[in-house]
Amino acid sequence: MSPREKYLALFDLSTVRALEFGPADKPWIPRKTPGVRNIDHLSTEDLRKEMESSPFYKAADLCEIHFVNDGRALKEILGDWTNLDLIAASHVIEHLPDVLGWLQDLSAVLAAGGRIMLAVPNKHHTFDFFRQVTTLEDVIVNHLERRTKPSPRAILEHRALATSSENRMSWNGDPNPLTFRHIHNFEEAYRLASEHLDENSGYFDVHVSVFTPYSFVKLLIGLTENGFLPLELERIDPNGFEFLAVLKRCDPNERIADRIAALDSMAAKLPFQVEDYCAAEYVCLEPRFEHFGGMSETDLNKVQELEEQLAQLKGSASWRITKPLRGLRRLFH
């Protein structure tokens, strides 16, 4: 049984009243579930047109969309389809311009004790590898600004720092930093960010937020401490290129100390990397070597030596990756 299936097993699917965000052609909640409805930014017909030539989705297999998310409050969009037992959202939260507003919106349509299942990409295993994690301050500012689309900064970071490892956009396990390549270039990122300075410009979809299991729990601690979060974290599965979490509706002003203690206990079991919270020393070899016109034999030997050191190092994933990178960076300074 996969981790996603284990989370589904927490619910009686024969009686559950549920909503799934953006299921595309691979819903988390099985299609045959009688009490599930789907919501997306476009209607079923419009989604099929949009994805007709997509290499990632089968347009004909897209799930039926019952509600179009048009920017109104979720309670208004859903009408009488509220008082929900379950909301599922796979790889949605990282795209949202206002994460806090969205979580509060979800809680407003949950029944007492209703739950949210989230699948979230772990930045350590995706193209967001070199980005800093999203902090409490980031989330609060986006909420205060009532963001309805990604900021120019989010667009710039998403495009300028997007990275592949061995031509993969996501991966399990620890990547070899010597295989990192920029997916885009800075000039393109700058152009896109500039084009979206105007509030009247169109919507450009990016990963607005970046998470690790640890940073996600720490974010929930900050939101809980300040009375912003009407949800409590019941469980988190940190393994793989995505992590899974279950949040349960609660009163944001009740049991704060107990909820924070539970979150602290969860955070203590998750890997912490200081580099996630500060400017990263990142090296993608392809553009660096082009700039320097190739490497000398001495440099190639040094890279080989660093590769061998990398394979032998023990300890945290952060140290295995950042120590060779720091050594490699000094070659060119």
pLDDT in tens, the chain (333 residues): 889 999 999 999 999 999 999 999 999 999 999 999 999 999 999 999 988 888 888 888 999 999 999 999 999 999 999 999 999 999 999 999 999 999 999 999 999 999 999 999 999 999 999 999 999 999 999 999 999 999 999 999 999 999 999 989 999 988 888 889 999 999 999 999 999 998 788 999 999 999 999 999 999 999 999 999 999 999 999 988 999 999 999 999 999 999 999 999 999 999 999 889 886 555 555 443 333 344 455 655 665 666 666 555 545 555 445 554 544 444 444
Under 8 Å between Cβ of 213 and 75: no
Looking at residue 170, its pLDDT comes to 93
Beta-sheet pairing, 36-40 with 163-165: unpaired
Q: Is 255 exposed, middle or buried (0-12, 13-18, 19+ CB in 10 A)?
A: middle
Q: Is 204 exposed, middle or buried (0-12, 13-18, 19+ CB in 10 A)?
A: middle
Looking at residue 296, its pLDDT comes to 54
Beta-sheet pairing, 180-182 with 163-165: antiparallel
Looking at residue 68, its pLDDT comes to 97
Residue 59 tokens, joined:
């347009």
Beta-sheet pairing, 242-249 with 231-237: antiparallel
3-state secondary structure the chain: CCHHHHHHCCCCCCCCCEEEECCCCCCCCCCCCCCEEEEECCCHHHHHHHCCCCCCCCHHHCCCCCEECCCCCHHHHHCCCCCEEEEEEECCHHHCCCHHHHHHHHHCCEEEEEEEEEEEEEHHHECCCCCCCCCHHHHHHHHHCCCCCCCHHHHHHHHHHCEEECCECECCCCCCHHHEEECCCHHHHHHHHHHCCCCCCCCCCCCCCCECHHHHHHHHHHHHHCCCCCEEEEEEECCCCEEEEEEEECCCCCCHHHHHHHHHHHHHCCCCCHHHHCCCCCCCHHHHHHHCCCCCHHHHHHHHHHHHHHHHCCCCHHHHHHHHHHHHHHCCC
Looking at residue 302, its pLDDT comes to 63
Residue 79 tokens, joined:
């009408």
Looking at residue 1, its pLDDT comes to 83
Looking at residue 39, its pLDDT comes to 98
* pTM metric for this prediction: 0.83
Looking at residue 56, its pLDDT comes to 83
Under 8 Å between Cβ of 274 and 321: no
Rounded to 10 deg, the angle between the 136-144 and 213-225 helix axes is 60
Looking at residue 52, its pLDDT comes to 86
Looking at residue 191, its pLDDT comes to 95
Looking at residue 14, its pLDDT comes to 95
Under 8 Å between Cβ of 215 and 245: no
CA angle at residue 95 from 31 to 224, to 5 degrees?
95
Q: Which of 163, 22, 36 is nearest to 96 (CA)?
A: 22
Q: Is the dihedral of CA 174, 243, 27, 32 positive or negative?
A: positive
